[in-house]
Chain A
Amino acid sequence: MSFRPFAAPGINFLRPVRVLKTESFRSAALFATLFLILSWVLLGVVYWIVNGTQTAALIGAVDADISTIRNGYREKGLPEAIEVVQQRLGSGDYSGADLPGGYILLQDQASGRLAGNLPPLDFRPGLFSFPAPRKSKHDSAMVLGRGVYVTPGVYLFVGRDTSQITATRARILKAFGWIEAASIVLAALGGIFFSVQFMRRIDAITRTCQAIIAGRFNDRIALRGSGDELDRLSVAINNMLDRISTLLDNLRQVSSDIAHDLRTPLTHLRNRLEEARQKSVTTADYAAVVAHAIEDTDHLLVIFAALLRISQIESGSRLAAFSTLSMSELLERIYEMYRPVAEDEQHMLVHDIQPDVRIRGDAELLTQLFSNVIENAIRHTPPGARIRISLRESGNAVVAAVEDNGPGIPTGEHEKVFRRFYRLTSSRSTPGNGLGLALVAAIANLHHAKMELGDNRPGLRFQASFPSGQRA
């Protein structure tokens, strides 16, 4: 699996506009927007809570002073109230070095201000605010406080500068502003980063596809190994490509088989006919040649049919016709079918078939698979051989086996006998086309069966393990 850059004309990789158009960038933008909306809501809540708490604390302090001054008045009269006001103004709450400070005003209708650090006010009771007379850091500093009548005609106002509250509000807004700016930048960068990553990988897939279109059939998409969705897609595409290339190989194989292996019998046929034209004299001569020629042609047709059947099976189109079937009954039937044949050849055919074993498969093809194997055993063993058909289910596998005690096959040839047109030296003299076991292999593969040839000491053991029918 090699990675080769492949730039087709007209394709510009990683163009900025393309980045903005990718799905990952769009989702990043969407999530950033959602995050912003949420943070605005959060800002509102924090702002409201902080503002409310600070205001309540301010009003609490104001009300405490009001009640102290009132108590003074109630106990010892107006001079005491004035005294308390003076004391309060002298305390740190009102005259600390750190502004904002507090404001008190005690006034009566007749003489105006009695005590305090505010110019006279309208006689207005209740909570209200007004611009601070002492300009502090903030031009917009305000005084918030409460006005009450200590006694009819004597008005008291206690208030505090609100610039601290204002400053806190400003800090909150500022902090949120930074956070939001940072998240927008991060979201944009992240979106671009992920889009570029995503597009790189999409481009890798595209490049592989282009390479295959250009004829490099062995190219595959490189995996990251993270097992994410793009990797899974790439694996699926790679598997699909593998399957296609297997089919292609098959097709090539069949064509070359036809080209090579049909040429020999066709040459024979042609030579025979040509010889007949030159040498035959009597009608009987001709009849013999014609009979021979028909035989040759039939042999050719059989090879043709077998090749077509193999390639058809390998194409996998039969998978659709799979059903759950009783392997036990199928093998019993085959046993019954071949028992007389074996007897006629002086063989003994025996069976040991576990009942009610089911697999998923194609009954017609499976019948052909085991017929071919059993026929091979019958035809390639000397008279008196014992052939045993067995079936058992163990764990997740259904194992069907055909064993004989004939001459067997040399271990080195076990793999080769499943190839098309491969024939053992020892069996070249018996009729056959070398396609029987190739067909067996094709059918077994279609059923995901594992085939094994083994030494039966003496003889040959053919074994096919199918996945059990319950699971498949």
Chain B
Amino acid sequence: MNILLVEDDVELAQSVGDHFREHGFAVQHCADGESGLASACAGDHQVIILDRMLPRLDGLSLVRKLRERRVLTPVIYLTTMSGIDDRVQGLEAGGDDYLVKPFAFAELLARVRVLSRRPATANEPAIRLALGSIELDLLKRSVQRAGRDIELLPQEFRLLEYLMRNPDRVLTRRMLLENVWGIHFDPQTSVVESHISRLRAKVNHGFEFDVIQTIRGTGYKFLAPG
């Protein structure tokens, strides 16, 4: 899998690049906005990791130019601009995800993995979502596992939907908070854990196979049941 890393902090770029290579990614690095734009247009990348404050061409303009040229490669910002409006601005310019520095590499890795299969399946409007024996009817908001109805509360349903749209991928606590609850701050209580444990109990009730795998210290992963 190819990643384009546009980042002017050479030390950070080196460290991030090394990490990704260890996980089997090919990483191309550009240290300024203009060469980043050129590489993004020319290359075949699955994900672009982009700083916002770059020499020559800033990240926001880079994304706008990229989208103008119909290059739809998913973009995740990696930036120190942590303002409340900065994220909105970044996403409005055409970015797909926003991660504020400093960050844990596991968080970045999880987000890049989720983004790398966009826009094929994630977020596309669908009526049904079926993985293995679990079926979600998105219109009726109903869930069945192996033909058996499962009663879920609205927030549990949204949580399951997000997990199932990104199966076999680690979803961090923060990704769940952002995508399921739409909140961008760190709760001081175990919001995600409590909801996951209830969802898990309901979905697994009467079955052997646990569809929600806990990745210690990082997050959760949905595994399609047989």
Contacts and interface: CB of A to CB of B under 8 A. Distances in A.
B195 interface: yes
Interface stretch (B6-14, B18-26, B34-42, B185-193): B185-193
B189 A301 contact: no
Interface in A416-462: 431-432, 436
Contact of A432 (B84, B182, B183, B188): B188
Interface in B167-203: 181-191, 193-195, 197-198
A336 B188 CA distance: 16
Contact of B194 (A313, A333, A343): A343
A272 interface: no
Contacts of B15: none
A431 B188 CA distance: 9
A11 interface: no
Contacts of A341: 189-191, 194
B198 A340 contact: yes
Interface string A370-390: 011001001100000000000
Interface string B77-97: 000001111000000000000
Contact of A312 (B83, B154, B182, B189): B83
Interface in A362-418: 364-365, 367-368, 371-372, 375, 378-379
B102 interface: yes
Interface string A304-324: 010011001100011001000
Contacts of B182: 364, 367
A159 B119 CA distance: 115
Nearest to B155: A336
A296 to B, nearest CB: 13
Nearest to A367: B183
Given A341-B194, A343-B194, A318 B188 contact: no
A356 B190 CA distance: 29
A345 B190 CA distance: 10
B127 interface: no
B120 interface: no
A56 interface: no
Contacts of A312: 83-84
A302 interface: yes
Interface in B130-164: 153-155
Given A301-B102, A317-B85, A436 B153 contact: no
A185 interface: no
A305 B190 contact: no
Contact of A375 (B84, B181, B187): B187
Contact of A379 (B83, B189, B194, B195): B189
A308 B83 CA distance: 8
Contacts of A302: 186
A344 interface: yes
A344 B155 contact: no
A308 B153 CA distance: 35
Given A338-B189, A436-B188, A368 B85 contact: no
Nearest to A344: B194
Interface string A341-358: 101110000000000000
A337 interface: yes
B194 A340 contact: yes
A432 B100 CA distance: 21
A337 B155 contact: yes
Contacts of A336: 153-155
B198 to A, nearest CB: 5
B175 to A, nearest CB: 16
Given A317-B85, A318-B85, A321-B85, A371 B194 contact: no
Contacts of A364: 84, 182-184
Contacts of A317: 85
Q: Which of B84, B102, B187 has the most CB of A within 10 A?
A: B84
Interface string B25-67: 0000000000000000000000000000000000000000000
A313 B182 CA distance: 19
A372 B188 CA distance: 8
A337 B181 contact: yes
Contacts of B197: 340, 344
B76 to A, nearest CB: 19
Contacts of B154: 336
A313 B193 CA distance: 29
B183 A371 contact: yes
Interface of A: 301-302, 305, 308-309, 312-313, 317-318, 321, 333, 336-338, 340-341, 343-345, 364-365, 367-368, 371-372, 375, 378-379, 431-432, 436
Query: Top 8 A-B pairs ranked by shortest CB distance?
Result: A340-B194, A341-B194, A341-B189, A375-B188, A344-B194, A375-B189, A336-B155, A368-B185
Given A333-B155, A341-B191, A375-B187, 7 more contacts: A305-B82, A308-B82, A337-B181, A337-B191, A364-B183, A365-B84, A371-B185
Interface of B: 82-85, 100, 102, 153-155, 181-191, 193-195, 197-198
25 contacts: A301-B102, A305-B100, A318-B84, A337-B155, A337-B181, A338-B189, A338-B191, A340-B194, A340-B195, A340-B197, A341-B189, A341-B191, A344-B197, A364-B182, A364-B183, A364-B184, A365-B84, A367-B183, A368-B185, A371-B183, A371-B187, A375-B188, A379-B189, A431-B188, A432-B188
